[in-house]
């Protein structure tokens, strides 16, 4: 077994665990938080992957979203990876929105980032294979959720792999990195100046280029300080309207960008995912 159990706690009759493992994709040790509901004691369960945002680790969602109670009721495993490689020898940047903690769920092609920042390969391929081989999760019933940078990750991964994931939702996602300062900084820094190479990492561009999922759920706070400059949900609304993708975009009055916002609507997202994961 390549998974090393770092911590374990009983939680709503299930188990909240943190694992560490060596990653071939990033060339570093990586950590991932896993909640196994009580139903996992009897066989494989469906899984919701949660991708966190800028500056976060695997702990933010696990400790702040309040998701385990509902996941235990619904029989959902929750998997929360870290947001980037970390450690000695891993390049970093003093800004919060680039480098460690800001992997943007892409495979970097520009040195020095290309050696370790291979988060697309890690999330799409390596980690699902590893956890699927070691844990009682059902590979045929997977879905994605994410917040901010992780919302960007969830949307783009789902759009690139429509047959793998049953559903995708997001909280305050970066819907078009090609058209916001966070995205332009990250994509140019990790991938270089050729904007064509950026398109696989932009949900709106992927949709314009033909990628499809049946439906998308998004919650967005109207008091989010990043709403107009970075998030721009109207661009996703336009892309989905043009192509016929069923988008539910809940604009939540007075809510900001924090985990207080996520915790307020996490239950509704998990119930939405459970319906689709269980064939509803």
Residues labelled catalytic = 148, 224, 257
Count of CB atoms within 10 A of residue 68's CB?
21
* Euclidean distance between CA atoms 51 and 262, whole angstroms: 13
Classify each residue of 130-162 as buried b or exposed e, where b means 16 or more C-beta atoms within 10 Å of its C-beta. Answer: bbeeebbbeeebbbbbbbbbbbbbbbbbbbbee
What's the alpha-carbon Rg for the chain, to the nearest Å?
17
**C-alpha distances in angstroms, 2 versus 15, 19, 24, 129, 142?**
19, 10, 12, 12, 22
Please, what is the Cα angle at 202 between 256 and 155, to 5 degrees? 60
């Amino acid at each position: 077994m390549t998974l090393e159990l770092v911590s374990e706690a009983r939680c709503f009759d299930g188990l909240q665990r943190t694992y560490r493992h060596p990653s071939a994709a990033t060339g570093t040790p990586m950590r991932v938080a896993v909640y196994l509901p009580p139903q996992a004691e009897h066989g494989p369960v469906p899984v919701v992957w949660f991708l966190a945002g800028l500056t976060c680790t695997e702990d933010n969602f696990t400790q702040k979203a309040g998701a385990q109670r509902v996941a235990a009721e619904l029989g959902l495993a929750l998997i929360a990876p870290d947001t980037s490689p970390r450690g000695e020898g891993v390049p970093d940047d003093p800004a919060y929105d680039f480098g460690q903690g800001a992997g943007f769920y892409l495979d970097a092609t520009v040195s020095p980032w290309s050696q370790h920042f291979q988060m697309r390969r890690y999330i799409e391929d390596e980690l699902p294979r590893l956890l699927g081989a070691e844990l009682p999760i059902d590979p045929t019933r997977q879905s994605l959720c994410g917040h901010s940078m992780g919302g960007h990750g969830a949307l783009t991964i789902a759009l690139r792999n429509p047959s793998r994931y049953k559903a995708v939702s997001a909280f305050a996602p970066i819907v078009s990195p090609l058209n916001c300062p966070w995205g332009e900084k990250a994509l140019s820094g990790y991938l270089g100046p050729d904007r064509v190479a950026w398109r696989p990492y932009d949900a709106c561009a992927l949709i314009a280029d033909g990628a499809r999922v049946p439906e998308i759920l998004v919650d967005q706070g109207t008091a989010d300080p990043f709403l107009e400059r970075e998030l721009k949900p109207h661009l996703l609304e336009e892309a989905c309207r043009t192509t016929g993708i069923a988008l539910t975009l809940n604009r939540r009055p007075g809510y900001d960008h924090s985990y207080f916002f996520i915790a307020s609507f996490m239950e509704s997202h998990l119930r939405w995912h459970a319906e689709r994961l269980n064939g509803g």
